[in-house]
Structure 1
């Protein structure tokens, strides 16, 4: 069964997403209500946690195949747990989507993670080197 996947960090960038999954998927901007995104100490990627009243902007990919969801699970690893939440699309409609909630909250920085400051090349060199071809 395919899944919608809400991404809010490195995976919302096509340069990273396409290194992890094999399929081609439609996507659109979305927000996750009642969540916040923080920098993780010493890392280039963020963690998202529940935070009533806050929202996180990201990208939702539609109808991701089970094989690609399994690849995403491996890529995210044990610091994250895949959960289902309701995201809001640009037109106002809501949609159930899987996302990755960060578990080790002690590693979260006090500062939010900003997509505009994402260090793409550092991330690719560190986490996607074996996938570069």
Structure 2
């Protein structure tokens, strides 16, 4: 990847669920697991989703979606909203290969909204996903317009 902007997106919360990611982006993208060093993920207080912040000595396991089209990024930006800032990071794939990707970092000035401990993806799938999807009415309004 020598172009300036990556086409991959590293996800670590609700977007790890392929059906949510495709609803948000409007495409079904190839994906694989990936790890981001130097960050940690915490639950957002009162929400079903997590926030990720820089923290030396920690790492976050997530899903890397590959080759997203340009139209996906404005939709992702709207989905993530004002709490997050899109930033380029370098993630490690399972075979050790490094890849550049965009990810959404929780804004530092909002860090007080993050709870203790790691966000639990298995629990989200079990208990929170249905609430998240039914409470998130914006999927259809994400189309570029």
Counterpart residue number, 1:124: 133
Cα offset, 1:50, TM superposition: 0.4
Root mean square deviation, CA, Å: 1.6
Partner residue of 2:33 out of 29, 35, 45 = 29
CA distance in 2, matches of 1:20, 1:129: 9
Q: Deviations over 1:74-127 (max 9, x none)?
A: 000010000000000000010000000001101000121010110110000111
Q: Could you state the TM-score of these two structures normalised by the residue count of structure 2?
A: 0.86
Residue 90 of structure 1 is matched in structure 2 by 94
Distance of 1:128 and 1:85 partners within structure 2: 30
1:11 and 1:113 map into 2 onto residues whose CA distance is: 13
1:60 and 2:64 correspond: yes
Cα separation, 2, equivalents of 1:38 and 1:89: 22
For residue 43 of structure 1, what is the aligned residue in structure 2?
47
Q: Which residue of 1 aligns with 2:143?
A: none
- Matching residue within 103, 111, 118 for 1:99: 103
Partner of 2:7: 3
